[in-house]
Chains A and B, each alone.
Chain A
Amino acid sequence: MSSSALIMMLCSWAIIIFFTLKFFIKVLKNPEKEE
């Protein structure tokens, strides 16, 4: 696998994993409050 392909893949994965976890963890930490 070429280094440019590897860099593109890892950078994309890093961005997507970061935001997926960031938002999903926040959802898990904030279960809906009853009004």
Chain B
Amino acid sequence: MAVQKERWGTRVGLVLAMAGNAVGLGNFLRFPAQASLNGGGAFIIPYLISFVVMGIPLLYIEWAIGRHGGKYGHHSTPGMFDVLGKSRLLKYIGVFGLFVNLTIAAYYCYIESWTLSYVFHSITGTFSEILPTDFFPKYLGLHEDSIFAIPPEAVFWFVLTLGINVWILSRGLAKGIEIAAKIGMPLLIIFGIVLAIKGLTLDSGDPGVIESPLSGLNFVWQPNFSGLTNPTTWLAAAGQIFFTLSVGMGSIHCYAAYVKEKQDIALNASSAGWMNEFVEVILGGTILIPIATAYLGLQAVQAATLGGSGFGLGFLTLPTLFNNWGWFAPVAGAMWFGLLFFAGITSSLAMGQPILAFFHDEYKLSRERSAIYFGLATLFLGFICVWLYPGGAFDEFDFWTGTFSLVVFALLETIVFAFVFGIDKGWEEITRGADIIVPKIFKFFIKYITPLFIAIIFIGALIKPDTDWITAFSNLFNGNGWPFAADSVIGVVFHVGTEKYIWFDNGEPTRELVKDGTRLLLLLTFITFAYLVHNVWAKKKAKKNGDVI
């Protein structure tokens, strides 16, 4: 059994790092839009139910797999899955935990770099001179009809953001990631509370205010209980829980692998999970929509969140609205984008660590060298996202890695944990050293309910209709077929909604070529990781046989 050398410095540091891993941009931009779109206050009912029967069990599973793997000296998922059972194929399930982290880091660090750049531009007063709606396309280098973009400023901020990530990662767990979490998480919460109080206390007499911010809060929380009978609401709630917790990635496993064998994971997992909910529901639901409603009116906000995301409001609208706050405008801008930056970087660090751990454990590379390799690989894949952003490469990354692969990996790991490793051994792993009494009902949830929930999310993503689910089923039973949505997995695979599926148009490459090329690149990335895993285990086997001989 290998001896672990690297550890977390403090327990609080570990919990904050785990919470920081879960807290991301979606907590502030996606949750309020999803809630208001799917039943308002009633959304919280399926949301919290999903958290208890799927979210918390998944956290327990991932912490348990991680700590169990760490016992054998594995801090990345291929090794962790290899020791869960006898099959040689298990380690290849763990490849998802490398592939997903690297490929998400590639485009996530790009978004993270926007927030850092927006902090700078907020402080220097850029948004008092130019509208963010004009600034943003120029910043990304978007030109009409072009599928390519080489935006010098965006590239600069991307490289800088990546450099910060690599530097922190190279400092190690206790001196790097843990310090970043201990600084970032409290600041994020303080910034969030300041902005929420400022937003909710806006008065009709304040310059530019046209409606009470409480109307926005009402929009998020007004319960529509009839929505509870609609499967769309349940799917949206389960999906939000799934994506907010950063499960199905391999990053939780990795952080948990540095926990000692007999130390608690149940309380740590519960604490980090609930802290994410605090940031998402209480802060996330109280900043963006109330402030936007105060200045734009409820109708405009409703229209802006119809797609289920508050991204446009957060990046394109809020910087302008802050201008109404006089001397506080640059501070508010820096706080809002600073908050998003801290949310982003604590997540991207968690994506980098499993890659470092893989190279460090399996190839015996130094931490610094592993960090540089992670940086270079992320830079290469991220550059594809930057360069081909207008062609749709960014969206392809987000769909296949940030959505599809997470669900597949989570489904596979739950099945492996409950049925291959065995639920009894798994339960013993979860409860060993626990500082809380874990209710036994979670054993039942993990074996039956959690995989069922994830399977439903998976099938929901696979065959998502372009209408409401109830309408889609009635269409089907009436013999009118199934209307696949363009963003369902089947819809994406078969380019549903694409007018002309061609790779070149008058000799010019099309968006379809970019999409297919990106998919091929992602597939090759997965195969490369699978080959590396195969290679490492083949060498281990040869060494073992050599030792015996």
Contact = CB atoms under 8 A, between A and B. Distances in A.
A26 B215 CA distance: 37
Q: Which of the four size classes fits the interface of chain A?
A: 20 to 34
Interface in A1-21: 1-2, 4-6, 8-9, 12-13, 15-17, 19-20
A6 B267 contact: no
B214 interface: yes
A16 B274 contact: yes
A9 B217 contact: yes
B10 A9 contact: no
B223 interface: yes
A11 to B, nearest CB: 8
B369 interface: no
Contact of B281 (A12, A30, A35): A12
A16 B278 contact: yes
A20 B278 contact: yes
A27 B271 contact: yes
Nearest to A32: B11
Interface of A: 1-2, 4-6, 8-9, 12-13, 15-17, 19-20, 23-24, 26-28, 30-32, 35
A8 B260 contact: no
B281 A4 contact: no
Given A5-B222, A26-B271, A30-B264, 13 more contacts: A1-B221, A4-B41, A8-B223, A9-B220, A9-B285, A12-B281, A16-B274, A16-B282, A17-B282, A20-B271, A23-B274, A24-B15, A35-B262
B492 interface: no
Given A2-B218, A5-B223, A26-B435, A15 B11 contact: no
A15 B48 contact: yes
A27 B12 contact: yes
A17 B12 contact: no
A16 B281 contact: yes
Interface in B17-48: 40-42, 44, 48
B178 interface: no
Contacts of B275: 20, 24
A1 B264 CA distance: 43
Interface string B267-300: 1101100110110011001000000000000000
Nearest to B277: A16
Interface in B233-276: 260, 262-264, 267-268, 270-271, 274-275
B436 interface: yes
A19 B267 CA distance: 11
Nearest to B285: A9
